[in-house]
Amino acid sequence: MILYDYILSPSCYKVRLLASLLGAPLDLRPVDFHPGREHKAAELLALNPAGSIPILVDGDLVLTESAAILAYLAAQKGGYWLAGDAPAAIARHQQWLDFSHRLTQALGGARLVEMLHFEGDLAALQTRGVAALRELEAALFVQRLGGQSYLIRDTPSIADIACFPYVALAPDGSIPLDPYPSIRIWMRAIRALPGFIEMPGIHRRHDLAPDPFAEVPS
């Protein structure tokens, strides 16, 4: 499987992260998104006329939407990361995958304006971003009341992976995460999953690594 990848793209990171959590190997093909705009050049447009990344190529199969790529990877590994059979769970799972597009547009849009000189109405993007974060915070609070750590149950699904990167990187678009305790606890759980990998702006949890100065007195 070849992933057309950009190191700073949260959507590409979703795919790399899930692949790492699943232990699924990927061949990475770096795309010069910035400053080269290679995703808008002929070779990649032939693969994906939308001019976006990630693109996953597996034999004859070409996938260009990150949620579809996540579903494809998860399905190959037995479906533990998918919704299961219950109608309500299938629907809630799909709802969060759809919700993740709002995060991409609002939080991701603000990030591109603030970080990489893209055009956009920053204030409007931030307002929509805050609204989406408040929805997510409320939903995760409800999950906690029911003793569940993740979006649809007590174990993670690809819905969590689809939402996590743009939320974690909201501060890149000048949208603080300070007001959202349930989001903080949820992100902390994701960052502790075996096989978790980081991307720039999302630090690993140093507290999980062995302490090189274990004898430090308190």
Q: Is 7 near other proteins (CB under 8 A)? A: yes
Q: Is 115 near other proteins (CB under 8 A)? A: yes
Shortest Cβ 48–other proteins spacing (Å)? 17
Tell me the β-bridge partners of 28: 3
Residues 69-108, mask of contacts with other proteins (x by CB under 8 A): ----------------------------------------
Q: Give me the count of residues in the chain.
A: 218
Site for other proteins in 121-180 (CB under 8 A): 134, 138, 141-142, 145-146, 171-172, 174, 178-179
Among 68, 116, 154, 195, binds other proteins (CB under 8 A): 116
Shortest Cβ 40–other proteins spacing (Å)? 14
For residue 177 the two structure tokens come to 């995460």
Terminal Cα-to-Cα distance of the chain (whole angstroms): 49
Residues 8-47, mask of contacts with other proteins (x by CB under 8 A): x---------------------xxx-xxx-x---------
Q: Is 185 near other proteins (CB under 8 A)? A: yes
Q: Is 119 near other proteins (CB under 8 A)? A: no
Residue number, 46 or 216, with CB nearest to other proteins: 216
Among 22, 182, 193, 196, binds other proteins (CB under 8 A): 182
Residue number, 77 or 191, with CB nearest to other proteins: 191
Q: Is 59 near other proteins (CB under 8 A)? A: no
179-218 CB burial, b ≥16 within 10 A, e <16: ebebbeebbeebbeeeeeeebebbeeeeeeeeeeeeeeee
Residues lying near other proteins in the complex (CB under 8 A) are found at: 6-8, 30-32, 34-36, 38, 114-117, 134, 138, 141-142, 145-146, 171-172, 174, 178-179, 181-182, 184-185, 188, 200-201, 203-207, 209, 211-213, 216-218
